[in-house]
Amino acid sequence: MSQVREPAAPSPGLRPPAVPAALSHKDLRGDDFWRQLPAYRGLSAQEFHDHRFQSRNCVTSVAKLQEVLGDLVPASFYQDVGQGVLRSTMSLRISPYILSLIDWSHPVEDPLRIQFLPLASRWVPDHPELALDSLHEQEHSPVPGLTHRYADRALFLALDTCPVYCRFCTRSYAVGLDTPKVEKVHFGASTERWDQAFAYIASRPELEDIVVSGGDVYNLRPEHLEHIGRTLLEMDNIRRLRFATKGPAVMPQKLVGDEAWVGALLRVVERSRQLHKSVALHTHFNHPREITAITRTGLDRLAAQGIVVRNQCVLQRGVNDEPATMQLLVKRLGHVNVQPYYVFVHDMVKGVEELRTTLQQAMDLEKQVRGTTAGFNVPAFVLDTMGGGGKRDVHSYEHYDREHGIAVFTSPTVRPGAYFYYFDPVHTLAPQIQERWQDGAERAAMMRAALDEAVSRPRR
């Protein structure tokens, strides 16, 4: 009679089988998710995923929002949004795609709602040291719509409109329509203004890298996209172009169906290869739920042509400040051939103080994300310093006073000898410290003490 053998013990070096959660980044939503909304309930996939439908049916008012949602949310929610819009620096514009991905059974806590629909009930007072153009982009603007801060690269604002408007936009001083809170500095799509920028760029041989942004290049007409790309590539000094767009995250249907726009982009990329230069698309996903099956279809089209796509994410409270969420986002981006490039600590932006985290939270999160996947697909966690010091690694501060929420940075290659502040949200500090921040003299004393500490420490 044969003996029953026990199964062999696994080798000590053999990893256990992956649990389903470890593969969740591959689970991209491909159902008819838009049918949860009354206004879209009767639409076929072909109708809903038509890029023209998406663009023409963006929600731009509370009344339109109510037409789309009906009684999915109570009247008090619409009132809350209406009051929030009055306080916002950005006008309302949300695509049907994004609206359909929001969990309307819990809209207040939903990470997509948080980014696009302001609620007055969640409003937190702005930081006392906040300014509208906190990064001083206009201060480093030699011609309208061009920022030249770093020696070898510049930011070219080609236009001032976007397919949707994010509540937390760094360029709320210029992007979108005027609001009750802000009269904008406008940079419309103008060939005359572009020619001024081209002339300046061509006159500066140290410039090699241009970020074409706005606004959003998704809103450029195909011929304008191609004109800007080809004009810059033909300059001897320019080696790299980056087209910046949030479009793949909020309206991926354009990558699938807008042959003219995608064709213009492909021709610019092909010309860059002929000239042995590079063109990349930089996009902006903040939450893994923004990536669906239609997103992959659009991005696959770019991948098939060898186009490099990188992601720049903004760290936001309630959106992506939990390790599991950021880890899933990083993995899912890699799965659809998007390289996670940056995670920005939230800029000092008016009207969205409830979205900001502390610098310490950003550093803690970076530790949790590091090692999630291959190093080249792990984003750098950075902070764009107030006052124009540029991007700095979150760990590179000269001094960080956590008690009073004040960090001091230097930026030797951008502004040698200068010091730059970043401030944690006041409402995250102890009550007695919050009181000190409301007193002008006390505020100045706290900032002076932090600066003195930074100046007195030896350089690391």
Q: Which of 80, 110, 384, 424 is catalytic?
A: 384
State how far the Cα of 246 lies from the Cα of 257, in Å rounded to an integer: 17
- For residue 150, the one-letter residue type is Y
Q: Which of 153, 230, 271, 310 is catalytic?
A: 153
CA distance 438 to 442: 8
Which one of the listed residues 110, 162, 317, 443 is annotated catalytic? 162
173 carries an active-site annotation: no
Let me know: does 96 contact 58? Beta carbons within 8 Å: yes
**From CA 88, how far away is CA 72, in angstroms rounded?**
24
Distance CA 94, CA 355 (A): 19
Active-site entry in 80, 258, 321, 347 = 347
Dist CA 251 CA 55 (whole Å): 8
Verify whether residue 58 is a known catalytic residue.
no
Cα–Cα distance, 451 to 90 (Å, whole number): 33
Strands ordered across the beta sheet of 399-401: 399-401, 406-410, 419-423
Active-site annotation holds for 273? no
Q: Among residues 50, 126, 133, 150, which one is catalytic?
A: 150
Give yes or no: 254 in active site.
no
**300 has catalytic annotation:** no
**For residue 83, how many C-alpha atoms fall within 13 Å in the half-sphere facing its CB?**
10
Q: Which of 171, 184, 296, 443 is catalytic?
A: 171
Say which of 240, 310, 391, 415 is annotated catalytic: 391
**Is residue 165 annotated as part of the catalytic site, yes or no?**
no
Annotated active-site residue in 40, 110, 169, 246 = 169
Tokens of 118: 């302001």
Q: Is 153 a catalytic residue?
A: yes
Q: Is 149 a catalytic residue?
A: yes
For residue 364, indicate whether it is catalytic. no
Exactly one of 93, 166, 246, 356 is catalytic; which is it? 166
The closest alpha carbon to 59, from 96, 34, 16, 97, belongs to 96
DSSP annotation of 133: T
φ, ψ for residue 98 (rounded to 5)? -65, -45
Q: Is 162 a catalytic residue?
A: yes
Largest CA distance in the chain: 93
Give 409's contacts (C-beta < 8 A, 6+ positions apart): 383, 385, 389, 392, 396, 397, 398, 419, 420, 421, 422
The residues annotated with a catalytic role in the active site are 149-150, 153, 162, 166, 169, 171, 347, 384, 391
